[in-house]
Amino acid sequence: MLTRAFLNKRLASGPSLKTFTKSNVRTFVVMNKYASQTGVRAITSGAKVDLNNYKSLNSVPLRFFSDLPPHVKLQMPSLSPTMEKGNLAKWCKKEGDQVEPGDILAEVETDKATVDFEMQEDGYVAKLLVEEGAQDIALGELVAILVEDEDDIAAFKDYKPESSSNAPQKTPKAPEPATPTSEPAKTPKPTPAPKASSKPITQPKKSSPAQAFVSSAPASLNYEDIPLTQVRKIIASRLSESKETIPHYYVTVDAEVDRLLELRSMLNNHSESKISVNDMIIKASSLASKKVPQANSSWQGDYIRQYTNVDVSVAVSTEGGLITPIIREANSKGLETISAEMKDLAARARENKLKPEEFQGGTFSVSNLGMFGVAHFSAIINPPQACILAVGGSQQRVLPTEEEGEYRTANVISFTLSSDHRVVDGAEAAIWGQHFKKYIETPELMLL
């Protein structure tokens, strides 16, 4: 047991954060910002904290000792690697509620998705410090107070934090003092009326087409300004960055899918989870990426990282925007497993119930718009990945046979691979397309 005297002694001349290791459990001691006022240090609840349970140090609850009863200050945690701010979409607990480890305190909208703020210890919710629906809450900003004893809740009825964020605040510049003067204030002279002029009135300059459109728009024009969600902001930022910084190029292959449709129909007679065409495309793309590992790589600035397994990110449209749940190690999974996982991930994605690790860190992406009647399109690469496959819809085409002058019909899908030319050369993308087409047109090879 770490005593307060021991902690104060260890912290007296050291930095604000010390690490103690014992029995594979790291104990963190944190100096609180009120130490100069109260003379008391802040330590993590229970003195011992297993950091494997926390996303980051910001999410570790801090126990404070002051004139108030012992309490834990819960901060806005980091719920994704790129998260800087979050929106508090919904409180799942109210003041006075008891909580236990694993309970969901709130739903937080990050730059990726809506993620559960999960409790790591027990107690009672004494105070909720931000309103439900609050926007752009900085990491480390206090959001709630937790106490051990139910009787201590009343002490926090009127509690207000001195500073709501750990982020450095900009200090407003003090106004410069006015220079003293002994001269009396001068009364401004009245401006003389303009003289009549016989010069012709100068015509205003012509406005640009955009300006002309705005100025000529009727005052009764109806419209609605839709606020941007965190997800929409990050989609806009990342995809703009992708098109501006990644040298995209596109390779399209047309593949007949009649044999694939026949195999799918046969497998579904014996499969518990109905296999879709998209499930088979995920499998084929993962196997082709094993054949051409350059497609299963990422640009890292000073080097190219090539991955051993193929984790396929699959684009799913939701009300909040596009999200890409991941089929991990798709190259080593059977079609039935891929189908079951994809159904579960897509359903939870539309309910904003995905965990961060379920949509972060893919190595190759697939985007399918064929179900919307789209014949062909090109997708934007999802950095730092090197490739994304765009899937169009199936179309019946008339194709020549081996016999001269004879024709046949076949169902054909256009597949377009968008590649990062820094990572994948054109010939490599073409070879990837050949392997992929072979798996689509001879789907039995995917079962080997």
Helix (H, G, I), strand (E, B) or coil at 123: strand
Question: CB 424: neighbour CB atoms within 10 A?
Answer: 24
Asked if the model's pLDDT at residue 339 lies above 90, the reply is yes
b/e code 152-186 from CB counts within 10 Å (16+ = b): bbebbeeeeeeebeeeeeeeeeeeeeeeeeeeeee
**Average pLDDT value for the chain:** 78
**Is residue 383 reached through a cis peptide bond, with omega within 30 degrees of 0 on the bond before it?**
no
pTM exceeds 0.75 for this model: no
CB count within 10 Å of CB 224 equals 4
Q: Looking at residue 407, what is its pLDDT?
A: 94
Provide the 10 A C-beta neighbour count for residue 38: 13
The residue-averaged pLDDT of 317-343 equals 94
What is the Cβ-side half-sphere exposure of residue 92, based on CA atoms within 13 angstroms? 14
Q: What is the pLDDT of residue 432?
A: 98
DSSP 364-395: EEEEE-GGGT-----PPP-TTBSEEEEE---E
Instruction: Give per-residue pLDDT as tens, 184-196.
Output: 444 445 545 444 4
The top-level CATH class assigned to 4-156 is mainly beta
46-74: pLDDT as tens digits = 334 444 444 444 444 555 545 788 888 89
Q: Which of 103, 270, 425, 435 is catalytic?
A: 425
Q: What is the pLDDT of residues 115-139, one digit of tens each?
A: 888 888 889 999 999 999 888 888 8
CA–CA separation, 348 vs 357, rounded Å?
A: 13
Q: Classify residue 150 by its DSSP letter.
A: G
Cα 423 to Cα 299: distance, rounded to the nearest angstrom: 7
- 425 catalytic? Reply is yes
Which is higher by pLDDT, 204 or 19? 204
Q: Examine the residue annotation and report whether 97 is marked as an active-site residue of this protein.
A: no
Which positions ≥6 away from 250 have C-beta within 8 Å? 378, 416, 417, 418, 419
Residue ranges covered by each domain of the chain? 4-156, 231-447
pLDDT computed for residue 218 by the predictor: 60
The answer to whether the CB of 257 falls within 8 A of the CB of 411 is yes
Is 58 or 236 the better-scoring residue by pLDDT? Answer: 236
Distance, in Å, from the CA atom of 444 to the CA atom of 330, rounded to the nearest integer, reads: 17
Q: 3-state DSSP call for residue 357?
A: helix
d(CA 129, CA 121): 19
Catalytic-role residue among 136, 258, 344, 421: 421
3-state secondary structure (DSSP) of residue 299? strand
Residue 140: predicted pLDDT: 87
Q: What value does the mean pLDDT take over residues 146-154?
A: 89
Residue 250 has pLDDT above 90, yes or no: yes
Whether the per-residue pLDDT at 200 is higher than 60: the answer is: no
Q: What angle do the packed helices 426-441 and 258-268 form, to 10 degrees? A: 50
pLDDT (tens digit per residue) in 383-417:
999 999 999 999 999 999 988 889 999 999 999 99
275 φ, ψ to 5°?
A: -80, 135
| Tokens 């799918």 -> residue | 264
Which pLDDT tens digit goes with each residue over 266-322? 999 998 899 999 999 999 999 999 999 999 999 999 999 999 999 999 999 988 788
| DSSP label at residue 412 | E
Architecture label for domain 231-447: 2-Layer Sandwich (3.30)
Helix axes 277-291, 426-441, angle to 10 degrees: 140
Q: How far is CA 322 from the centre of its chain?
A: 10
